[in-house]
Amino acid sequence: MGENVRLFADPEALAAGAADELIAIASDAIAARGRAAIALSGGSTPKLLHQILAKRGKSALAWDQVDLWFGDERTVPPDHKDSNYRMVKETLIDPLGIDPARVHRIVGDSADHAAAAAAYAAELVGSLGTPPVLDLMFLGMGPDGHTASLFPGTPALTATDWVVANPVDSPVTSGKTTRITMTFPAIAAARHVRLLICGHDKAARLAEVLEGPVGKFPVQAVTSADLQWFVDAAANMAKGR
Ligand code: 6PG
Task: Quickly list DSSP for 130-158.
Answer: TTT--SEEEE---TTS-BTTB-TT-GGGG
Mean pLDDT of 155-163: 98
DSSP three-state, residue 213: coil
Check residues 55 and 3 and name the one with the higher pLDDT.
Answer: 55
Q: How far is the CA of 217 from the centre of ligand 1 (A)?
A: 14
For residues 24 and 35, give the distance between their C-alpha atoms in angstroms, rounded to a whole number: 13
Nearest CA to ligand 1 atom 7: 42
Residue 105 near residue 74, CB atoms below 8 Å? no
Q: Which of 104, 28, 116, 96 is nearest to 71 (CA)?
A: 104
From residue 55, alpha-carbon distances to 101, 147, 162, 228 in Å are 22, 27, 33, 24
How many helices and strands, by DSSP H and E, does the chain display? Answer: 7, 9
Provide, rounded to the nearest whole percent, the portion of the chain with pLDDT above 90: 97
| pLDDT band per the 50, 70, 90 thresholds, residue 237 | confident
Q: Average pLDDT of the chain?
A: 96
Sign of torsion over alpha carbons 103, 108, 109, 110: positive
Mean pLDDT of 65-94: 98
Q: How far is the CA of 140 from the centre of ligand 1 (A)?
A: 5
53, pLDDT greater than 70: yes
| pLDDT band per the 50, 70, 90 thresholds, residue 1 | very low
The answer, yes or no, to whether any atom of ligand 1 lies below 6 A from the CB of 206, is no
Predicted confidence (pLDDT) per residue in 119-147, tens digit: 999 999 999 999 999 999 999 999 999 99
Element (H, E) at 169: strand 163-170
Nearest CA to ligand 1 atom 3: 148
Residue 240 phi/psi, 5° resolution?
65, 20
* Strands of the 4-8 sheet, one edge to the other: 4-8, 227-232, 192-197, 136-139, 36-40, 66-70
Mean pLDDT of 186-197: 98
Residue 84 phi/psi, 5° resolution?
-65, -35
For residues 136 and 232, give the distance between their C-alpha atoms in angstroms, rounded to a whole number: 20
DSSP state of 241: -
| Residue 119: alpha-carbon gap to chain centroid | 19
Predicted confidence (pLDDT) per residue in 193-226, tens digit: 999 999 999 999 999 999 999 999 999 999 999 9
Q: What are the residues whose beta carbons fall under 8 Å from the beta carbon of 217, sequence distance 6 or more?
A: 144, 145, 146, 152, 205, 208, 209
Provide, rounded to the nearest whole percent, the portion of the chain with pLDDT above 70: 97
2, pLDDT greater than 60: no
The answer, yes or no, to whether any atom of ligand 1 lies below 6 A from the CB of 145, is no
Mutate to test the pocket of ligand 1, among 147, 193, 200 (most ligand atoms within 8 A of CB): 147
